[in-house]
Chains A and B, each alone.
Chain A
């Protein structure tokens, strides 16, 4: 059974810091890994999708890496801003097309 763990559960940083969010998964037989952002009371916004054959993806200030063999992914946020405050969710896709989510990292960026 696939399990996804995100560390840390919560993170508070001053504006401008670079930060790393971690995600680990127990079954390396994944098809894709997707990072999402969820604002309080809102839906999920897709940030980055990494195919299993890829090592990383970048979008603006965000960079996500994937190491399938070790069951790990990291989301790097450069020059953090207060608007980045949200819960960040990591999810993996294994056979059967279902997403398995981690519990999320709640990020607060203080002005």
Chain B
């Protein structure tokens, strides 16, 4: 029973390129969450998705960031035209139902470095 799978583990992008981060939730989990951990800072909520729906994107920067969780396939966090300030660890979590009722399982993260 694989846990939450994120790939790639490490991603290097030049300024202006696009970054695509993938997350496959645990089997049976239909709720996916993305969090960002900036260097020397705590984890901050970005977005909450269910299959084909964005439930809460209040933590997403208004520009360049988007997320999806299609009917088939992993959830994707997409960052367009990356800048140095986007360098961070991006974590995905999943839960079997709304987090209000259950706990979260986190992936190992994708560490994005923008050069």
Contacts and interface: CB of A to CB of B under 8 A. Distances in A.
Contacts, number: 69
* Chain B, interface SS category: strand
A100 B45 contact: yes
A95 to B, nearest CB: 7
The bracket for how many chain A residues form the interface is 20 to 34
B7 to A, nearest CB: 13
A43 B104 contact: no
A44 B91 contact: yes
Contacts of B95: 97
Interface in B33-77: 33, 35, 41-45, 48, 55-56, 59
A52 to B, nearest CB: 9
Interface stretch (B13-21, B80-88, B106-114): B106-114
B33 A98 contact: yes
A34 B103 contact: yes
Contact of B99 (A41, A42, A44, A99): A99
Given A43-B106, A43-B107, A43-B109, A95 B42 contact: no
Interface residues of B, number: 29
Given A31-B99, A31-B101, A97 B33 contact: yes
Nearest to B4: A43
A75 interface: no
Contacts of A104: 42
Contacts of B42: 89, 101-104
A97 B91 contact: no
A71 to B, nearest CB: 18
What 6 pairs across the A-B complex have the smallest Cβ distances? Answer: A97-B99, A43-B108, A49-B103, A44-B106, A31-B100, A101-B43
5 contacts: A36-B106, A44-B106, A91-B43, A97-B56, A101-B44
